[in-house]
């Protein structure tokens, strides 16, 4: 078994919908980024790739490439799962902490767990998503953006 950690952050400021964990979360602004700026999906993608020593999201889906502009980050996570499978790894579980003042994460966490689990080919009971405030401190505390931290446990596939 192997463990990976992923981190991502994006600033608010986009007029597009706020996407977190593959779902639209109602909010006053979306996040700025080359793809759909889904910090949850990005952190999970980095965690699973890192656990298998297969690079990171920027290596496989570089923001310098126009084809990834506006990309669905759950689709990128699904592609990362395929990369793992092609290298004889499977995801066992995911734990994500979303750090933001607003919006509240808890009401949306079950739907995020389901979308992440589906992309990874695991049951939703193997995915945890929770929100934490930054208690008004720093750029997150001022409501300038959102960060996410993810931990992934992967193992080699027998056979």
The pLDDT of 31-57, averaged and rounded, is: 96
- Residue 121: what pLDDT? 97
Calculate the CA dihedral of residues 62, 73, 156, 153 and round it to 10 degrees. 110
Say if residues 93 and 127 touch (Cβ distance below 8 Å): yes
- Lowest-pLDDT range of 38-42, 62-66, 106-110, 112-116: 62-66
- Residue 14: what pLDDT? 83
- Residue 134: what pLDDT? 96
- Residue 62: what pLDDT? 87
- Which domains does the chain show, CATH number per domain? 2-156 (3.30.1330.50)
Q: How many CA atoms lie within 13 A of 156 on its CB side?
A: 3
> To 5 degrees, how large is the angle CA 74–CA 138–CA 147?
10
- Lowest-pLDDT range of 39-53, 64-78, 117-131: 64-78
The helix-helix angle for 109-120 and 73-86 (nearest 10°) equals 40
What band does 68 get if pLDDT is binned at 50, 70 and 90?
A: confident
The pLDDT of 47-57, averaged and rounded, is: 97
Answer with the residue of higher pLDDT: 17 or 69.
17
- Residue 159, pLDDT above cutoff 70: no
Can you give the pTM of this predicted structure?
Answer: 0.96
- Residue 125, pLDDT above cutoff 80: yes
């Amino acid at each position: 078994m192997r463990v990976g950690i992923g981190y991502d952050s994006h600033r608010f400021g986009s007029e597009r919908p706020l996407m977190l964990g593959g779902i639209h979360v109602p909010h006053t602004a979306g996040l700025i980024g080359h793809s759909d700026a889904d910090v949850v999906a990005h952190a999970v993608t980095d965690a699973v790739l890192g656990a298998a020593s297969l690079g990171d999201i920027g290596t496989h889906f570089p923001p310098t490439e126009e084809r990834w502009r506006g990309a669905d980050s759950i689709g990128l996570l699904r592609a990362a799962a395929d990369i793992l499978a092609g290298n004889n790894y499977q995801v066992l579980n995911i734990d994500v902490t979303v750090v933001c003042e607003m919006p509240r994460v808890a009401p949306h966490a079950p739907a995020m767990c389901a979308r992440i689990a589906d992309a990874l080919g695991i049951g939703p009971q193997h995915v945890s998503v929770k929100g934490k405030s930054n208690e008004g401190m720093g750029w997150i505390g001022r409501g300038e953006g959102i960060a996410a931290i993810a931990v992934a446990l992967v193992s080699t596939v027998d056979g």
